[in-house]
């Protein structure tokens, strides 16, 4: 996770300079974003497993044992960025341009972080007979969920970097569209990949009406980003 964050920061700096934003301003914002990211991602996991953490409150602090949620981290990161924007009185335009820079680095940083998920056997997959299934510590052949997430995020980066600008006439409807594109693509991939996770085991993610919390959040993000796309495209066509 630390390596993913560091890579994301350095890659974002490269993109920030392209958008003519003060790099020092971005580095100041990173502190707020990372704090929000860590607190939000951990809080999201704790809320999903509240009964366990009520009985074992000290384990809330044991981040090295895993237990971070993407959508909780996303909410925390945006909250941290929002606090920074308000404190520094940054314009909305500058904020959206900054999110576009982060959108390109995010999938690569997440892919690096998911390597850690693989190493600690996080994200237990459902049983499978597919050739690329992995033997889990319980000796059951399961879907390699962490590896799926790595591949998905690499594909998202390729789409955002090379295909998305052409498909959406990005120059006409920016700023903020790269971030919306990232959120949409990640949420779509996460919604479908969560069906490969295990069900009914101690390590399974809790289900709510047959879907994980991440799937419900993904559906919400998909709906919001579709509305944003429609609004931006309409505004671009009126110009």
pLDDT tens string 30-84: 999 999 998 999 898 888 888 888 888 888 888 777 677 888 899 999 999 999 9
Could you count the other beta carbons within 10 Å of the beta carbon of residue 22?
A: 11
**Residue 175: cis peptide before it, omega within 30 degrees of 0:** yes
* pLDDT given at position 81: 93
Q: Mapping DSSP to helix (H, G, I), strand (E, B) and coil, where does residue 211 land?
A: strand
pLDDT band at 24 (very low <50, low <70, confident <90, very high): very high
Q: Give the pLDDT mean for 193-212.
A: 86
Per-residue pLDDT for 168 more than 60? no
pLDDT-wise least confident of 17-21, 109-113, 195-199: 17-21
* pLDDT given at position 122: 83
Average per-residue pLDDT in the chain? 88
Q: CA–CA separation, 130 vs 147, rounded Å?
A: 14
* pLDDT given at position 164: 78
Closest-CA residue to 186 (of 93, 101, 79, 108): 108
pLDDT band at 112 (very low <50, low <70, confident <90, very high): very high
Beta strands 141-142; 207-208: pairing state: unpaired
Closest-CA residue to 21 (of 91, 94, 77): 94
């Amino acid at each position: 996770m630390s390596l993913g964050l560091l890579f994301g920061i350095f890659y974002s700096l490269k993109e920030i300079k392209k958008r003519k934003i003060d790099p020092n301003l971005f580095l100041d914002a990173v502190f707020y974003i990372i704090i929000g990211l860590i607190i939000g991602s951990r809080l999201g996991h704790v809320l999903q497993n509240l009964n366990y953490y009520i009985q074992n409150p000290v384990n809330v602090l044991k981040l090295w044992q895993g237990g971070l949620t993407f959508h909780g981290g996303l909410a925390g990161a945006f909250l941290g960025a929002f606090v920074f924007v308000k404190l520094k009185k940054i314009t909305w335009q500058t904020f959206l341009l900054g999110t576009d820079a982060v959108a390109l680095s995010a999938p690569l940083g997440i892919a690096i972080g998911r390597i850690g998920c693989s190493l600690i056997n996080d994200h237990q997959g459902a049983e499978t007979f597919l050739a690329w299934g992995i033997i889990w510590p319980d000796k059951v052949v399961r879907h390699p969920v962490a590896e799926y997430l790595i591949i998905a995020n690499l594909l998202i980066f390729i789409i955002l970097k090379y295909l998305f600008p052409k498909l959406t006439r990005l120059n006409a409807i920016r700023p903020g569209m790269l971030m919306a594109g990232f959120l949409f693509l990640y949420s779509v991939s996460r919604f479908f990949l969560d069906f490969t996770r295990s069900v009914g085991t101690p390590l399974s993610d809790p289900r709510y009406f047959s879907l994980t919390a991440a799937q419900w959040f993904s559906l919400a993000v998909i709906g919001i980003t579709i509305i944003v796309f429609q609004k931006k495209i309409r505004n671009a066509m009126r110009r």
